Amino acid sequence: MRAHEAGALHAEGYGGPPHWLPTPGDVNELMPQLWPQTVTRDDEGRLTVGGLDVVSIAREFGTAAYVLDEEDFRARARAFRDDFAEPFAELGGVDVYYAGKAFLCTEVARWVADEGLCLDVCSGGELAVAQRAGFPAQRIGLHGNNKSVAEIHQALDYGVGRIVVDSFEEIERIAAVAAELGVRAPVMVRVTVGVEAHTHEFIATAHEDQKFGFSLAGGRAAEAIARILEHAETLDLFGLHSHIGSQIFDTSGFEVSARRLIGLHAEVARVHGVHMPELDLGGGYGIAYTSEHEPLTPRELGEQMADLVARELKTVGDGSPGSPAPKVSIEPGRAIAGPSTFTLYEVGTVKDVDLGGRAKRTYVSVDGGMSDNIRTALYDADYSCTLASRRSDAAPRLARVVGRHCESGDIVVMDEYLPDDVTAGDLLAVPGTGAYCRSMASQYNHTPRPPVIAVREGQARVIVRRETVEDLLALDVG
């Protein structure tokens, strides 16, 4: 549902439950695909993660709080590393870049490094986190459509492994900074390949109207490559990059993208005699937020992606007979961070609202909302949730979980079946909040942002502390 400026009652889709949400036989049952791998219920019905129950977590750290299953995060990172490495071994190999924009903090950057992944950052701030974590510079890539001179300087001074070029102006900026520092900047060209994977539309001109990259159809990508090669003393062109969307549940869009990217790769080899060693196919792999979603596993993704790249290389050729196949890189972010985390809230108010006739809506208000998860309001995102602090034998009732902010569109979970006896003081857990929730969190209504609590083997620790009112006031002058 799109949040309407006149209030939720005016929004499209304001009615009964969606088709994918059946009335549950057991309202306490957990759907494994929605939760971190170590999540279960104990004998008292309390949700547990990493062997620790959420009542204890709430008592020690308070609510609202993001609860991150460290082993789940690490396991998903390893799965992408290993399940892509095997099928790509007979090609040019593969690098997995964790997309830091999904969620990044110093400790998570260390986990990513520990598990052998590379790291994709798209701002000087994200790069600063990587530097603080001691992340190996050569395994870092810098993105962004409007990188400042200071950010380019920061990246080249640290020695990042690649900068993804996004505009003609940026080519000149990077070349100038590289000359100043006396280095040769490693660059890739972001190509707008005309594929938009959300709707599986692959017509080149249909998706050129965006701020990212150089158009393939309009010849801008080829022109950018030529300009970079004119700066051979300061710019090292080593690959092409594309990104086709997010929440992708099949690989058909990647097949079209790979075909067009490999075609350009071959053209550069024929026209300029340059064999670029890398192709980046981006990320966007989907996760399950509700029972509606059926994401591919990393193994399925790895096998299918390797198959389509091999097929396209055989069909198109890479323009350099006898040269090794280019290494492929991918950028999962949501698929690693998203399922590893749930948000823990405390219920404050339960209210029934008459809708006319015999219909009513149950609103369950929690101590968070759009300041810690803007995705429902911003993207019409659907979430699930469960009663987390106890088991209930009450009948299920359809509820809407809402936040504490002064907005009618402040909705956390649009529709969910909760026990009929849910009441103030209960804890609710919303899964799938590890990506784009803390990273897009705000201080709306001067609400301090929640902490991130990492749990592993029965131990919980703060990896991002809770903001305080003092933090909110610290930036005020006067």
Q: Which residue has the tokens 């249909």?
A: 206
Look at residues 283, 258, 285, 280 and name the one whose alpha carbon lies nearest to residue 328: 280
User: pLDDT by residue (tens digit) across 272-329?
Assistant: 999 999 999 999 999 999 999 999 999 999 999 999 999 988 877 656 666 778 999 9
Terminus-to-terminus CA distance in the chain, angstroms?
A: 42
Query: What CA dihedral angle connects 62, 68, 71 and 72, to 10 degrees?
Result: 140
Pairing of strands 235-241, 52-53: unpaired
The identity of residue 214, as a single letter, is F
Q: Which of 118, 122, 385, 406 is catalytic?
A: 406
Give, in order, the Cα–Cα distances in Å from 350 to each of 364, 377, 423: 5, 21, 6
3-state secondary structure at position 460: strand
The pLDDT of residue 200 is 42
Q: Which residues pair with 96 in a beta bridge?
A: 330
Mean pLDDT of each 10-residue bin along the chain, 478 residues long: 46 68 93 97 97 98 98 98 96 96 98 98 98 98 96 98 97 98 98 72 49 88 97 96 91 91 93 94 95 95 96 76 85 98 98 85 97 95 97 96 96 97 98 98 97 97 98 92
3-state secondary structure at position 402: strand
DSSP one-letter code for 16: S
Whether omega before 269 lies within 30 degrees of 0, making that bond cis, reads no
The pLDDT of residue 194 is 83
Nearest 5°: phi and psi at 367? Answer: -90, 40
Query: Model-level pTM greater than 0.75?
Result: yes
Q: Which two tokens stand for residue 330?
A: 């991918």
Query: What CA dihedral angle connects 233, 234, 240 and 243, to 10 degrees?
Result: -170
450 touches 369 (CB < 8 A): no
The identity of residue 418, as a single letter, is L
Neighbouring C-beta atoms of residue 385, cutoff 10 Å: 23
Look at residues 282, 180, 257, 270 and name the one whose alpha carbon lies nearest to residue 225: 270
User: pLDDT by residue (tens digit) across 380-434?
Assistant: 999 999 999 999 999 999 999 999 999 999 999 999 999 999 999 999 999 999 9
**Distance of alpha carbon 447 from alpha carbon 209, whole angstroms:** 36
The pLDDT of residue 10 is 44
The yes-or-no answer on residue 406 being catalytic is yes
40-41, strands of its sheet edge to edge = 40-41, 47-49, 52-53
Neighbouring C-beta atoms of residue 341, cutoff 10 Å: 26
Instruction: Name 147's Cβ contacts closer than 8 Å, sequence gap at least 6.
Output: 155, 163, 166, 170, 173
